[in-house]
Chain A
Amino acid sequence: MSVEERLSKIEKRLTAIEKQVSARSKPHASWLKYWLFTTDHKQVGILYFVTSFYFLFIGGILAILMRTQLAFPLNNFLTGATYNQAVSMHGLIMVLWFLSPLGAAFANYFIPLQIGAKDVAFPRFNAFSYWMYAFGGLVAISGFFVPGGAAAAGWTNYAPLNSKLFLPGGGETLIGLGLLMLWGSLTMGGVNLITTILVMRAPGMTWMKVPPFTFFTLVTQLMLLWSVPSIFSGTLALVVDRALGSLFFVSAGGSSVLWDHMWWFFGHPEVYVVILPGLGAAAEIFSVFSGRPLYAKKAIFLALALGMLPFSFAIYAHHMYLTGINALQREFITTNTEINTLPSGVIVLCFAATMIGGAIKFKTPMLMALGSIATFIIGGITGVFDSSLFLDVQLRGSYQVVSHFHYIMVGTAEFALFGAIYYWLPRWTGRMYNEKVGKIHFILSFVFFNMIFLPMTFLFEMPRRIYTYLPATGWGPLNLIETIGAWGFGLAQILLLYAMIEMATFGKPSGPNPWNVSSPEWTGDAEAYVKNYPAVYATGSVALDGGVHSHAHASTPLNSSPILISAGLALFFAGLVWALPISLVGIVIAFWGVGVWFKDDLYGLFKVPEEPPGEKWPLNHMSHVRVGVWLTLAGEMILFTAIIGSYLFIRENVPIWPPPASIHNIHLATFNTLLLFSSAMTVFMALYSIRNGNRNGFVGWMIGSFALGATFLSIKMYEWWDLLNKNPSFNIASGLPGSTYYFMTGIHAAHILVGLAFMVFLITKGLKGGFTAQNHDAVEYFALYWAFVDIVWIFLFPLLYLI
C-alpha cells in the first residue's frame, strides 16, 4: 500500500470518527434516547431526583402498612412474616434508595454550577453511578415477588437472621445483590463528586468561598468513600454465605459481631451521609432568607471536616454495646460519642447566629429548614441518652431508639431536603410554587411527623421488632396516635407532589433568580460570586446577569455503556435467584456495554468539554483523573482492610487454625508470588518506555506483564483445583479456614482479572499508536492500580500461607 493510500485510509477513518463523535454530541436526540444515554450532570441530577421519589413512594407505602398493623393490639392486618418484610424493606429503601440519592440529585445538579465547573469530573461514571443505583433498587425490590418474599432481617440485615437457615427465600439474597450494585454506585458517585470539588473549582473559588452545600456534600462523599467498602465486603461475604455456603456469619468464629462491625462501620457514618446534604442546603436557606452571610462559616467547615468526619468512624461501635465487645472500648466509645455532639452543636449555633439580627422571611424553604433544625435538636437530645452506655443497655431495641433515629434521619434530613426542593426547583424549572400550599405542606408535615415520633419516645418499654402486642401492655393508645400521624404525614405529601407538578408545569414563571441570591448556581457567574465574596447571600449585593447560565451550553456526549452495563449486571444478579437464562442474557448485555466503553476510549469517541485551569489547592499539580484514581485506591484500601480485618477478627476468635503447610503448597505459592511481584517491575518498565517515547518497548513490556499476571492467575486457579481435589474437606463451605482462603484469594484474583483486561486495552491502544511520550495518562494510572494489587498480595501471601 502506498503512502498516499495509507494517508487516504487514515483520513477516511478520522472522518468516520468525527461523524460518530458529532452524532453522540447532538443535544436533540430522541427524547427517550436522550434520557437513557445522557451523561450531563444536570440530567443525571434530575434522574436521581425522580427515581428517589419512586422509591419514596414504595418505602412510604410500606411504612403505612407497618403502622396500620401496629395501630391496635393483636391486629391481624399483616402476618408476622409480611410485617418483617415491610419493616426491613422500608428501612433499606428509605435510607439508601431515597434519602441519600435525593441529596445526590441536588449535588449532581448544583455542585458544578456552584463551583463554576463545566460538568462533574467523570460524566460517564456519573451516569453509570445513577444506573447502578436505579437497577440495584429494582433487584432489591424484586424480592417481593420470589417465594419467601423480600428481605426480612431488618434494615441492618443482622446476622445470623440474614442466613439461609432463618431466611431461606431468595429475597435476602436479592437485597444483598441489589446492595452490591448500590455500593458500587455510591463509590463511583463519591469519587466523582469529591474529585469535582477538589480540583475543578473556578479561579478564585478558594475553600472558604465554596458554597456551604458543596462543602457539606464533600464531607458526605468522603464519609461514603471510606465507609462503603466495609459493608461492600460484608455484603459480598453475606451473598457468598448464602450462595456458596461459606461460614462468615453463621459460625461462632465469624458470628453476628463480625457482621455488626462490617455493617456499622458503614451504618453510622451513613447517618451523617443522610443528614449532611440537607443541612448544607439548610445552611444556604438560612443565609438567604435571613439576608445575612452564613455565620462562622470557617467554624462550621472545621467542625465538619475535623469533627464529624473522623468521629463518625470512631464511635460507630456504640451500636454494639450489647454484643459483648471489650469493656474499655465501650467506655472509650461512650466518651467519644458524647464529644461528637460538639460539632453538631457548633453547626446548630452557627445557624442560629446567622438568623439573629437578620430580616427573616418565613417562606416555605425557610420553614422547612427551621423544622429540620428543630427535629435535629430533639433527635440530638434523645440521642445523648442513647450514647450513654448505661442508659443504652435499657433503651436498646425499644421504640425510644426508633423515635431517636427517625428524628435525625427523617425529621432533619427530610425537612431540610423538602426545603431544598422549594428553594432550588424554580432554578430547574423556571416556575414557582404556590406559597400557601407550601406553608400548609410544612405545617401538616411537621404536626403529623411529631404525632408519629413524639409518642414513640415514651414507648421505651415496647420492643421495636414485634409485629403485634397484647392489650394489657397499655401501648395501644400511643400506637394509634402514631398510626394516625403516619397516615396524615403520608397524605400531606400529596401537597408536595402538587407543588412539584406545579413547579414543573403550570406554576407562575419564577424569573431567573426569584430569591435574589448571589450564589453562582443562580447567577451562572462564579467569577462575580468570588469577586464579591463575602457579601454573598446579602440579597441584592451582586448585580445579576438575568439568569444567563454559563453552563447551559456545556454538554457531554450521550453514551449507552452506563445503562447497558448496569442493566446487564441487574439481569445477571436477578437471574441468579429467578432463572439462570436471565443471568446469561445479563452477561451478554453487560459485556456489550463494556465493549462500547472500551471502543469509545480506544478511538476517543467520548469527549467531554475541556475544563479550564482553576482553583485546586492543595492538589495544584494533579490532574482530575489522577485524583480520581487515588480516591478509588483509597476506597480499595478500606475494602481490603475490611477483608483483612475480618480475617484477623476470625483468627482471634477461632482457637484452632490448621498450620498453613498442612494445607497449602507453600513453595508453589511463593513462586507464584515472585511472578506477581515481577509484573510490578515489568509494568514500571512499560511506563518508563512510553515516557521516553519508546512505543515498541512499551508494548513489549506490557505483553510481558500480561503474561506474568495471566500466569499468576492460572497458577492460582490450579491451586484451587488442586486443593479441592487433594483435600476435599478444605472447601469454601467446610469451615472458616476454607471460607476465608477462597474468599480473600477470589477477590484478589478478580482484581488481577480486571488488571489483565486493562492490559489488553493498553496493548491494543499501544499497537495502534495511541500513546506517546506526552500522552500516556492511562498507562500512568494503570501502573498505580497494578502496584496497589501487588501491595494487597504482599499482605495476603503471609497471612494465608505463612501465619
Chain B
Amino acid sequence: MEEEKMRVGTMVAVWVYVLLATILEVVAYYVIPLSSSALHDSVISIIALSSAAAVVIFYMELKYRPRWEALFLGTTLFFVLDLLLIWTASLVH
C-alpha cells in the first residue's frame, strides 16, 4: 500500500535534486573564498544536510512508512549529536 504512493517521477525528482545539490556544493566551493571559512563551510554543510535528508525521506522511504520506523533513526541521532558535540567541544577553550 505504501508502495502505491511512491511515484517514479518523485524519485527522479529527488535524484535530480541530489545531483544538482552536489554541483551547487562545488560551485559554492569556487565562489565563496576559503578565507571566509564560516560562510563557506556553512553553505556547503547545509546543502549536504538537505541532500541527506532527501535520501532518508524518499530513498529510505521514511515518508511512506509508519512513523515508528523512524524510531531507530531518531534515537540514534541523539547519540550522533552527543558524540559530535562532546568531541568537537572538548578542545574549545
Contact = CB atoms under 8 A, between A and B. Distances in A.
A183 B66 CA distance: 32
B44 A642 contact: no
A621 interface: yes
Interface in B1-58: 3, 6, 8, 11-12, 15, 18-19, 22-23, 25-26, 28-29, 34, 40-41, 44-45, 47-48, 51-52, 55-56
B59 A680 contact: yes
Contacts of B23: 670, 674
A621 B1 CA distance: 12
A782 to B, nearest CB: 12
B8 to A, nearest CB: 6
Interface stretch (A280-288, A447-455, A511-519, A789-797): A789-797
A638 interface: yes
A642 B83 CA distance: 7
A784 B28 CA distance: 30
Interface string A665-699: 01000100110011011001100100100000000
Nearest to A260: B90
A257 B11 CA distance: 44
A404 B50 CA distance: 47
A688 B11 CA distance: 10
Given A261-B90, A631-B72, A637-B76, A674 B19 contact: yes
B48 to A, nearest CB: 5
Given A681-B15, A794-B55, A797-B22, A649 B69 contact: no
A803 B91 contact: no
A617 to B, nearest CB: 9
Contact of B88 (A327, A649, A784, A795): A649
Contacts of A313: 79, 82-83
Contact of A326 (B34, B56, B93): B93
Contact of B8 (A652, A685, A784): A685
A673 B18 CA distance: 10
Contacts of B80: 637-638, 641
A391 interface: no
B69 A622 contact: yes
A107 interface: no
A566 B44 CA distance: 42
Interface in A316-375: 316-317, 320, 325-327, 329
A648 B87 CA distance: 8
B83 A618 contact: no
Given A261-B90, A621-B65, A674-B19, A790 B55 contact: yes
Contact of A681 (B12, B26, B51, B87): B12
B92 A326 contact: yes
A630 B60 CA distance: 10
Contacts of A646: 87
A205 to B, nearest CB: 18
A440 to B, nearest CB: 45
Interface string A519-535: 00000000000000000
Contact of B66 (A320, A326, A621): A621
A317 B82 contact: no
Contacts of A327: 93
B42 to A, nearest CB: 10
Nearest to A642: B83
A794 B82 contact: no
A514 B22 CA distance: 66
A425 to B, nearest CB: 35
A774 to B, nearest CB: 12
A784 B73 CA distance: 12
Interface of A: 226, 230, 257, 261, 265, 310, 313-314, 316-317, 320, 325-327, 329, 618-619, 621-622, 630-631, 633-634, 637-638, 641-642, 644-646, 648-649, 652-653, 659-660, 666, 670, 673-674, 677-678, 680-681, 684-685, 688, 691, 783-784, 787-788, 790-791, 794-795, 797-798, 801-803
Interface of B: 3, 6, 8, 11-12, 15, 18-19, 22-23, 25-26, 28-29, 34, 40-41, 44-45, 47-48, 51-52, 55-56, 59-60, 65-66, 68-69, 71-73, 75-76, 78-80, 82-84, 86-93
**Nearest 10 Cβ contacts at the A-B interface:** A681-B15, A325-B90, A787-B59, A630-B72, A634-B76, A802-B29, A645-B87, A618-B68, A641-B80, A226-B79
